[in-house]
Structure 1
Amino acid sequence: MEWHVSRTDEENTVSQLPENLRYTDDHLWVRVDGDTVTTGLTAHGQELLSEIVLVELPEVGDEVQVGGTAGGVESVKAYNDLYASVAGEVVAVNEALVEEPGLVNEDPYGDGWIYRLRPSDPGAVDELLDAAVYRATIDQ
């Protein structure tokens, strides 16, 4: 399936891109919160998927590896696995998404966060894309 986003949507996505987060090619964002990291779907990612109708959360206590499945999101267009961008133990999940999966669309960098984990290697976050590099991937 090929997704198309209008140029206006892309421009809105770029203007919403927080500089203090790290990003992945899979359109996830990662924020360091003390000794944990919080992960969610970027504004661009949720725009590509359209209306989110289901979020599958990992289980608290799960150990995830980089590139391993850490949940999934289903939209009116498609189902996509969420792949862990940092290895570690899941310490919290956003239970509000079970009843209100649209929070991912409404507030992707706030109330739409998906899970938190305690990273095995806290320095691994630094290896993810910064906002400028992620912005360049969106523009391609």
Structure 2
Amino acid sequence: MNIPAELRYAATHEWVRQESDGNLTVGITDHAQEQLGDLVFIELPQVGKAYGAGQQIAVVESVKAASDIYAPVAGTVVEVNQAAADAPESVNDGAFTAWLFRIKPDNAADVQTLLDAEGYRKSVEG
């Protein structure tokens, strides 16, 4: 299972990368895309909309099921990856390169409340 050490993770299978401008790039983990199977549709959040931590923010649909994506921290969506929505299979091909959205956190320190790679590995293994 691919779990990059430099990222943070939500227990709900979102990965988070802190960018130099303070924004957070968010996608779904490799484990999540494996469990879902072939993705066929992605509904992205609305740019400019504020979300609370843990609030449903997006949806990914596969041939098996639809799954909600949750905001890993409270903040405002500043960008979405339309290329991922246009080609959902790109998330299957590279879960850690095909990000879904970028969020400006209300509190930058909130990212530290997320799981590190080892914590996420333990949560999915067991």
Aligned twin of 2:111: 125
Aligned partner of residue 90 in structure 1, secondary structure = strand
Per the normalisation by structure 2, the TM-score is 0.96
Rg larger in structure: 1
- Structure 1 segment 60-75 matched on structure 2, within 5 A: 60-75=47-62
The runs of at least 4 consecutive aligned structure 1 residues that moved more than 2 Å come to none
Tell me how far apart the structure 2 counterparts of residues 30 and 46 of structure 1 sit (CA, whole Å).
Answer: 15
Aligned twin of 2:91: 104
Deviation per CA, 1:60-100, whole angstroms, max 9, x where unpaired? 10101111111110001100111111111100000002220
Deviation per CA, 1:90-114, whole angstroms, max 9, x where unpaired? 000000022201111111111x100
Aligned twin of 1:17: 3
The alignment covers a number of residue pairs equal to 125
Aligned twin of 2:122: 136
Q: Percent identity?
A: 42
Tell me how far apart the structure 2 counterparts of residues 98 and 25 of structure 1 sit (CA, whole Å).
Answer: 23
| AA partner of residue 87 (structure 1) | A
Deviation per CA, 1:32-63, whole angstroms, max 9, x where unpaired? 00210000000000000001100000011010
| AA partner of residue 66 (structure 1) | A
Aligned twin of 1:31: 17
Give the superposed CA RMSD.
0.7
- Shift in Å, 1:17: 1.0
Q: Residue 86 of structure 1 is aligned with which of 73, 82, 95?
A: 73
Tell me how far apart the structure 2 counterparts of residues 98 and 115 of structure 1 sit (CA, whole Å).
Answer: 10
Q: Which ranges in structure 2 are unaligned for 5 or more consecutive residues?
A: none
Tell me how far apart the structure 1 counterparts of residues 28 and 51 of structure 2 sit (CA, whole Å).
Answer: 17
Per the normalisation by structure 1, the TM-score is 0.87
Q: Which ranges in structure 1 are unaligned for 5 or more consecutive residues?
A: 1-12
Aligned partner of residue 67 in structure 1, secondary structure = coil
